[in-house]
Amino acid sequence: SYRLESYFFLLDPWRHCTHIDTFNTWIKIAFCMGKEKRWKAIKYLENYYGFKKDEESFIWKSNSPMTKKIKEMQEFLGLEVTGKPDSGTLDLVQKRPDVNVAIKKAFSVWSSVTPLKFITKDRGDADIMISFAAGGNSHSDFLPFDGPGGSVAHAYAPGKDLGGDAHFDKDETWTKSTEGTNLFYMAAHEFGHSLGLFHSKDPNALMYPVYRKFDPSVFPLHQDDIKGIQYLHGNSHESAEIKDPTESKEPALPNTCSPDLTFDAVTTFRGEIMFFKDKQVIREVDFHLVSSFWPWLPSGVDAAYEIPEKDETHLFEGNEFWVVRGDTILPGYPKKLYILGFSKDFAKIDAAFYNRKKGENILLHRGQILEVKFYNQRNESMERKPRLIKDAFPGINGKVDAVFQHENFLYFFHRRKQFEFDFDKKRVTRLLKTNFWFPC
């Protein structure tokens, strides 16, 4: 099931009321609209604005429930709040249901080649919640949009909470043609993520990570997309059983208050601290699959750090690394670790952090500290010979599982403990439990 949240041009309730000042005269909806128009108006406000119909609700006056709901809608849409179906409001609500058509068409792309069936829900929760949000609005996640251009949409892999949801930038010029950004095309791409697909390396595939122009009248799904979706959900001739996306064979969620808690990597990310454990990423007390935020990233993260001034996050897994901005991978990544000066058979690093005071990218491996210089997306190299961790950070001995910087401190994790290292004093100031950051 899916639900399209907070959209407004699906119905056309006030087409014949533009000449009536309904605010100053108590005129019933039935008079200006007729029975069908009245039903549509009531149904629209019921579905999207929680309107409860009763006898008094049908009267237009300053304090009537109907007027209040119109004001609520106008405020949400950024219109002048009058409580009346004025011309500005009519210009919006009279638009044809292009959004609904594009969304349904996007779902049909996937249902045509799988046994999946999609059902629209007018209210309540759904497996795929669809919303449009303007730049600066975090819309229930921590990946706000950036206005026209840039990031236009993102979606989360199947799972609980945000899992499966698709968000679109309200500031984009959405169209049904090749001009602007075609809503159908982007929705079909994002719903691919909602159904569990990663990005494709094939430039002709719908799931290729770069938006491209296409003929909207002819849209054959590429074979790479078909193979991927049918691998996950079967082909259209198989049983139409739809599994609950929350049912999986994933390992049990980590107990953040367990004395045996350990982490694979830790980093800050846009003001939050993110803890990586197996396939999970933990934000304070919320758990999400890593693939919910970065669908193209293999399960598990060995090391991670953020460069706040660039709004970049560096992620390491196995012998590869990625540089991302928000949920978008930068061009040219992933890259192999050997381009930094490691041998080609180098398997993985243990931990990494960004020294904000000196602007240094620091990688840790087997008791050694390695400084790496990222000149740009094409030119990276090891800056100097490896040093011992215990020499650079007195008191930090042995293997480091994860590390991150918070304010003027570094926090080194080793098994069930973490060491707080003061940059200024150049010594360990506290020995803490791994779950120090959680309300246990």
| CA–CA gap between residue 15 and residue 90 (Å, rounded) | 7
Question: Would you say 264 is a known binding-site residue?
Answer: yes
Question: Would you say 125 is a known binding-site residue?
Answer: no
Active site (annotated) includes residue 320: no
Question: Would you say 19 is a known binding-site residue?
Answer: no
Question: Would you say 88 is a known binding-site residue?
Answer: no
DSSP state of 310: G
Question: Would you say 72 is a known binding-site residue?
Answer: no
Token pair in block for residue 383: 């800056």
H/E stretch holding 183? helix 183-194
Question: Would you say 154 is a known binding-site residue?
Answer: yes
Question: Would you say 278 is a known binding-site residue?
Answer: no
Listed in sequence order, the DSSP H helices in 13-58 are 29-49
238 DSSP β-pair partners = none
Q: Please tell me which residue in 179, 190, 309, 383 is annotated as part of the active site.
A: 190
Question: Would you say 189 is a known binding-site residue?
Answer: yes
Tell me the HSE value of 242 on the side-chain side, using a 13 A CA sphere: 12
Question: Would you say 169 is a known binding-site residue?
Answer: yes
372 DSSP β-pair partners = 361, 382
Question: Would you say 150 is a known binding-site residue?
Answer: no
| CA–CA gap between residue 213 and residue 225 (Å, rounded) | 17
| CA–CA gap between residue 189 and residue 202 (Å, rounded) | 14
Token pair in block for residue 254: 């980590």
H/E stretch holding 67? helix 65-77
Question: Would you say 199 is a known binding-site residue?
Answer: yes
Using CA atoms, how far residue 51 sits from 33, 34, 71, in Å, is 18, 19, 12
| Three-state DSSP class for residue 170 | coil
Residues 6+ apart with CB under 8 A from 35: none
Q: Known catalytic residues?
A: 190
Binding residues for Ca(2+): 127, 146-147, 163, 165, 169, 172, 264, 302, 304, 352, 401, 403
Binding residues: 127, 139, 141, 146-147, 154, 163, 165, 167, 169, 172, 189, 193, 199, 207, 264, 302, 304, 352, 401, 403
Binding residues for Zn(2+): 139, 141, 154, 167, 189, 193, 199, 207
